[in-house]
Amino acid sequence: MLKNFRKTKIFVLTMLAAAPIISLASESSHPDSTSVGLVFLWIAIILLIAKASSFIERFGQPPVLGEILIGVLLGNLSLLGFHWFEPLRGNEIILFLSEFGVVILLFQIGLESNLAQMKKVGLRALLVAIVGVIVPFVLGTFVIGPWLIPGLVFNAYLFLGATLTATSVGITARVFKDLGKLKTNEAQIVLGAAVIDDVLGLIILAVVTAIVTQGSVSPTGISLITLKAFAFLAGAIYIGTKIAPWLGKMFSKIHTGTGMKFTLALSFGLIVAYLAEKIGLAPIVGAFAAGLILDSVHFKYFKQSPLVENLQIVADRAEGTIKQEMTDLAKKHSEKHIEELIEPLGFLVVPIFFVMTGFSVRLEVLFDLPVLMIALAVSVAAFIGKIVAGSVAGKVNKWIVGVGMIPRGEVGLIFAMIGKNLGVVDDRLFSIIVIMVILSTLLTPPILTLLIKKQDSK
């Protein structure tokens, strides 16, 4: 405990030491807010603070929670009269890096996931996704909405219901990754279900928007969107698996170095992310699919990292068990080379995403007590909806799957924002949705960590 106290003290000291440099940044942001140097400074501050917040691990919490909480703190310092970080709010480059961050995260998670195992849990994931969409939707539209927030038009309840369906996979995936549990069946089901949820969410959003704007929706329209979305996913995985080896072979003829390997892998991920967005899905779905498709075997024509190459040379001259161990080591790392190459990029952009996610949380909304009470009840419905979905996950820890599906994150906010722009969601309902998203985002990491640790100790 004393040790933890010391870590906390160092953290606080770091923050205090950062203050002058931060105020410097804030000051100079006025005369020339587009200065490149200033963006560099912001990036450095975000990264250092995010990393410093990883002291939360000492208290058994995943680093991602620290990053989100520090973001919440920075984003709400203006409530205390400190406006240092406000220039970050509209900074296009930081926002881009943040988006880039979640795309890279899902790409990494795709790379670490296994297409074969994904297929194995595919049916369960589909079931979890469908239940996890239907239950919250029905709860929101027909039960919680009319009951707790009476007097709104039906379309408003429709949007509330739609908002409750979304699953934001980034947070859950980071918790699994932080705890080294990405390869478990639970994690694979949640990842699969979240991707399918994104497709289902897209359909629901299109349908709800059509009902609000046109008063009705044609079955042909629904079928078309559904078909397009599923065809994209299936097509990307099918075609991708076919052309990836060919691409690897072709580009290896130009250059076989590490740079080419990195470029090829990253570009593949970015192009599939773009195509996903083009079709109307979230870019992260494309990035995840791209990661799933790519395999170390597609890069067999490329050089290994210099260390692995040198290791193999030494191993060739060694003998007995040492030779075997060295060969195994080289093999293991050559299989993970792509992941190791993408990792530093993740160190740069992923924390920016989580800090900025926390940053966008406005604690003001918590100050209106009646709204807060309703929001708590809506949040309970949001939690229940996904936990029910977890119950159909088959022979795994159903609680882990259910809780893993809880975070609504930016997807829910996008739904609410569209509803607001259509004039259906009023300010009060919007605040309620925002609080629900906040709670689902902040509570999932500690609860999930607890559940996973409890299972491990069995």
Q: How far is CA 221 from CA 90, 129, 172, 206, 210, in A?
A: 36, 22, 32, 9, 9
276 binds a second copy (CB under 8 A): yes
26 binds a second copy (CB under 8 A): no
Tell me the one-letter amino acid at 57. Answer: E
Minimum Å gap between C-beta 47 and a second copy is 5
CB < 8 Å & 24+ apart, contacts of 6-14: 7/55, 7/58, 8/55, 10/55, 11/52, 11/53, 11/55, 14/48, 14/52
Among 79, 314, 363, 373, binds a second copy (CB under 8 A): 314
Minimum Å gap between C-beta 127 and a second copy is 30
If the CB atoms of residues 157 and 302 are measured against a second copy, the closer one turns out to be 302
Q: Which of 266, 251, 240, 246 is nearest to 302 (CA)?
A: 251
If the CB atoms of residues 177 and 398 are measured against a second copy, the closer one turns out to be 177
**Which residues inside 69-98 make contact with a second copy, applying CB under 8 A?**
92-93, 96
Among 226, 241, 263, 296, binds a second copy (CB under 8 A): 263
Which listed range, 45-53, 79-87, 189-197, 391-399, lies at the site for a second copy (CB under 8 A)?
45-53
If the CB atoms of residues 140 and 291 are measured against a second copy, the closer one turns out to be 291
Which listed range, 141-149, 193-201, 303-311, 361-369, lies at the site for a second copy (CB under 8 A)?
303-311
Alpha carbon 352 to its chain's center: 12
283 binds a second copy (CB under 8 A): yes
Number of residues lying near a second copy (CB under 8 A): 78
Which listed range, 117-125, 273-281, 372-380, 390-398, lies at the site for a second copy (CB under 8 A)?
273-281
- Whether 246 and 196 have beta carbons less than 8 Å apart is answered as no
Minimum Å gap between C-beta 299 and a second copy is 14
Q: Is 446 exposed, middle or buried (0-12, 13-18, 19+ CB in 10 A)?
A: middle
23 binds a second copy (CB under 8 A): no
Distance CA(365)–CA(363), nearest Å, equals: 5
262 binds a second copy (CB under 8 A): yes
If the CB atoms of residues 351 and 407 are measured against a second copy, the closer one turns out to be 351
210 binds a second copy (CB under 8 A): no
325 binds a second copy (CB under 8 A): yes
301 binds a second copy (CB under 8 A): no
329 to 368: interface string for a second copy, x by CB under 8 A: x---x------xxxxxx-xx--x-----------------
If the CB atoms of residues 269 and 385 are measured against a second copy, the closer one turns out to be 269
Which listed range, 78-86, 197-205, 313-321, 447-455, lies at the site for a second copy (CB under 8 A)?
313-321
If the CB atoms of residues 261 and 386 are measured against a second copy, the closer one turns out to be 261
214 to 253: interface string for a second copy, x by CB under 8 A: ------------------------------------xx-x
Among 12, 19, 44, 231, binds a second copy (CB under 8 A): 44
If the CB atoms of residues 181 and 255 are measured against a second copy, the closer one turns out to be 255
**Which residues inside 175-194 make contact with a second copy, applying CB under 8 A?**
none
- Whether 433 and 381 have beta carbons less than 8 Å apart is answered as no
Among 112, 277, 335, 426, binds a second copy (CB under 8 A): 277
If the CB atoms of residues 231 and 307 are measured against a second copy, the closer one turns out to be 307
Query: In this structure, what are the phi and psi dihedrals at residue 424, rounded to the nearest 5 degrees?
Result: -90, -40
Minimum Å gap between C-beta 77 and a second copy is 20
Query: In this structure, what are the phi and psi dihedrals at residue 406, rounded to the nearest 5 degrees?
Result: -65, -45
Among 22, 64, 84, 99, binds a second copy (CB under 8 A): 99
Among 12, 33, 40, 79, binds a second copy (CB under 8 A): 40
Distance CA(303)–CA(147), nearest Å, equals: 63
Which listed range, 82-90, 311-319, 361-369, 423-431, lies at the site for a second copy (CB under 8 A)?
311-319
